[in-house]
Chains A and B, each alone.
Chain A
Amino acid sequence: MEVVLEPDATPLVRIIATTLRESLRDPDLTRKAEGLRGVFALKSAKDPQAVTMRFAAGRVALAHGVAPDAQVVVTVDLDNMTGPDAPKPKVKGALGHPMFALTVSKLLEPKPRAWPEHARAFWEFTSKQRDTPAHLRVVCLDNGAILDLGRDESGEDTYEIHGSAAALESIFSGNSVFGQDLLEGKVYAIGSMKYASVLTGCSLAWMMRGAA
């Protein structure tokens, strides 16, 4: 199924494109999505960010804002859409279009994968970028599990990220940005300012990779 972005798309449009493409890895969901016809809008509860998804003829076109003809409008906390303490979204129009609303909601919540799987995919992307560390060590604080990505021949080119499984999954799946989570104390890190900065850039690009 084709995911089409408006030119010069906003960050939220790009992030939702990433989310939809992740969900469309599931053939069953793709089959259901291809049959969708309607207009679904997602808006932030805290600021003016919003995206309209227009489903028709086996494709979905994304644009910023809430289109006046949106049949379903969901208002969410964009910083915490799926966490255990996520506030309940406000939904308008779902009663009139229950199947449409349900299917799109599923598309917006890709099947969870374990954090190491996400971390490997993130590293596959990140290790090709400029100025990244040779070795990224990820430590899960829930159970002490360690994942080593890349190799540090010099012994001086390692960066470490420590966090709960939920926090690691959030970063490596592209749901949140590493630098922001680090500043907010959601994860911890050992290493240089340079790698903190560069990995934040990679994390941002990873979040919006669906725009590519």
Chain B
Amino acid sequence: MTPEDLGGWLDAHQITTVRTEGASLDGLVLGKHLSRDKFERSLPLGPALSDLVFAWDIGGSPQLGWWADFRQPALGDVHQRPDLTTMVASPNRPGMADVIVDHVTIAGDPLPVCPRVVLRGVVDRLAARGLTARCACELEFMVFREPYESARRSRYRTLTPMGTPLPIGYTTHNAHYLTEFMDEVVRRLDGLGIAWEAWSDEAAPGQVELNFEPADPLATADRVLRTKQAIKEVAIDRGASATFMAKPTAEYGNGMHIHHSLARDGASAFFDASRDDHRSTDMRHWIGGLVATMPAAVSILAPTVNSYRRMVGFAAAPTTPTWCEENKSTGLRVISRSEKLARIEHRVASADVNVYLALAVILAGGIAGLDGDIEPPDEYTGLAWGEPPGSAGLPASISAAADELERDKLLTAVLGESFVDYWLHNRRWEWLMFHTGGGDAGAADVTEWELNRYFELV
């Protein structure tokens, strides 16, 4: 939609309210409900928000300890510049439209720490090489029968999973418990124009996996952002609760596997029919970059203290910087048996991830591989769990992951120093809040601090 088309579109859909939707660093949806008049008057810069939205932690505390040039000398504003191509009429709130935004400074410059801006920058880097990416996410979450208010009162413990209490998945019996909830979710996704492929019950009690159609990276991220919001809204509207925490219970955790492929001039850049393994040189270097940067990328792909509870052996999440054809225990599952299917499934991210940043860091790793002609290590054809101590693994804590990202220069070269520096401070703040705010470093299972902080918001 162009600015010239906006008035007609708002008329045609009888829109009286516009809700803006932008991603915070933690992946929360930031926005305002605006009257139609106010929304139109705010263009092209969009409505203003306090710049504290990028200096608050997820617990609502103002973060102190570092600075970035986009911030005002004391407290100031940032703007939410609407991307009018994302405008959609709400399928469940008549008269309201949603629009996704980029965060910009008061001068209109893209905010270097805005997740959507970061992803757009990486996509532009790919385009400069004549490449386009397609991505598809597998989003996992858990649904409980208690409303959020009751869940809060019980401190998010002893909740009733929607489904059998047994750790069993892919059964239509179990899925039937979820059908009313998920029918409403997909009805709203259809209304939002979000192309979904499938959903199924998953291995943990109350767990669902929702799969999306492949799309370009920005559209993919926008869809996941809106889907998370839609699922939480369905939970609220139906008196249930849903969470994207990586590990809200002692059962299997919530991951978000990210499939992606690369094309040049409309043809797969990953596939080479002339080679026995069908992997092109670009695919080999792309894998090399992803493996080389995987330990550093963990900081973004596993962003919370809770994320690391999922990353243990034999729990379906990878724990090593490895790759292999059709191996779901390695960090990367490579599929190269045909041009149509040629893709890589990056299996590290947890469902609490900021999807814009997840796609950005994965594509940045691949770009680093292309830039440096990085050859991948040997394929890891065994089961990549249960290795003896001393084996190379992925970082096992939010602080160790931040240290890895700080050491790595490949990702910073693509993502930008401003963003990486801000992110590192931000994650170390989260580490500090856990340890000094009541989190238990020695706890074997999820702590009350994690549940209070993440259950509803990530």
* Size category of the binding interface on chain A: 20 to 34
Assuming A10-B435, A194-B73, is B65 touching A200 (CB within 8 A)? yes
* Size category of the binding interface on chain B: 20 to 34
Q: Are B66 and A198 in contact (CB under 8 A)?
A: yes
Q: Are B67 and A49 in contact (CB under 8 A)?
A: no
Q: Are A64 and B442 in contact (CB under 8 A)?
A: yes
Kindly identify which residue among B65, B435, B443 contacts A179, using a CB–CB cutoff of 8 Å.
Answer: B65
Query: A69 → chain B, closest Cβ, in Å?
Result: 15
Cβ-closest chain B residue relative to A194: B67
- Against B, the Cβ 8 Å flags (1 = close, 0 = not) of A1-41 are 00000011011100000000000000000000000000000
Complex Cα–Cα for A42 and B399 (A): 23
In the complex, what residues of B have CB within 8 A of residue A64's CB?
A: 441-442
A47 contacts the other chain (Cβ, under 8 Å)? yes
In the complex, what residues of B have CB within 8 A of residue A179's CB?
A: 64-65
Cβ-closest chain A residue relative to B439: A48
Q: Are A204 and B439 in contact (CB under 8 A)?
A: no
B1 contacts the other chain (Cβ, under 8 Å)? no
Query: B369 → chain A, closest Cβ, in Å?
Result: 28
Assuming A48-B440, A204-B65, is B74 touching A192 (CB within 8 A)? yes
Kindly identify which residue among B67, B71, B432 contacts A204, using a CB–CB cutoff of 8 Å.
Answer: B432
- Against A, the Cβ 8 Å flags (1 = close, 0 = not) of B62-83 are 0111110001111100000000
The residues in B between 430 and 454 inclusive whose CB is less than 8 angstroms from any CB of A are 431-432, 435-443
Most chain A C-beta atoms within 10 Å of own C-beta, residue among B65, B397, B400, B443: B65
The residues in B between 129 and 188 inclusive whose CB is less than 8 angstroms from any CB of A are none
Cβ-closest chain A residue relative to B403: A8
A150 contacts the other chain (Cβ, under 8 Å)? no
Q: Are A197 and B66 in contact (CB under 8 A)?
A: yes
In the complex, what residues of B have CB within 8 A of residue A198's CB?
A: 65-67
In the complex, what residues of B have CB within 8 A of residue A197's CB?
A: 63-67
In the complex, what residues of A have CB within 8 A of residue B75's CB?
A: 193
A124 contacts the other chain (Cβ, under 8 Å)? no
Query: B398 → chain A, closest Cβ, in Å?
Result: 10
Kindly identify which residue among A49, A50, A65, A193 contacts B436, using a CB–CB cutoff of 8 Å.
Answer: A49
In the complex, what residues of A have CB within 8 A of residue B400's CB?
A: 7-8
In the complex, what residues of B have CB within 8 A of residue A12's CB?
A: 435
* A–B pairs, 22, beta carbons within 8 Å: A7-B400, A8-B397, A10-B435, A11-B431, A12-B435, A48-B439, A48-B441, A49-B435, A49-B441, A50-B442, A64-B441, A65-B442, A179-B64, A179-B65, A193-B71, A193-B75, A194-B67, A194-B73, A197-B63, A197-B65, A198-B67, A204-B65
Could you list 12 further interchain pairs (A-B, Cβ under 8 angstroms) beyond the known A47-B438, A48-B442, A201-B64? Answer: A11-B432, A47-B436, A49-B441, A50-B442, A64-B442, A131-B66, A192-B73, A193-B71, A193-B74, A194-B67, A196-B64, A201-B425
Binding site for B on A (CB under 8 A): 7-8, 10-12, 47-50, 64-65, 131, 179, 192-194, 196-198, 200-201, 204
Which 4 A-B pairs give the minimum distances between C-beta atoms?
A201-B65, A48-B440, A179-B64, A200-B64
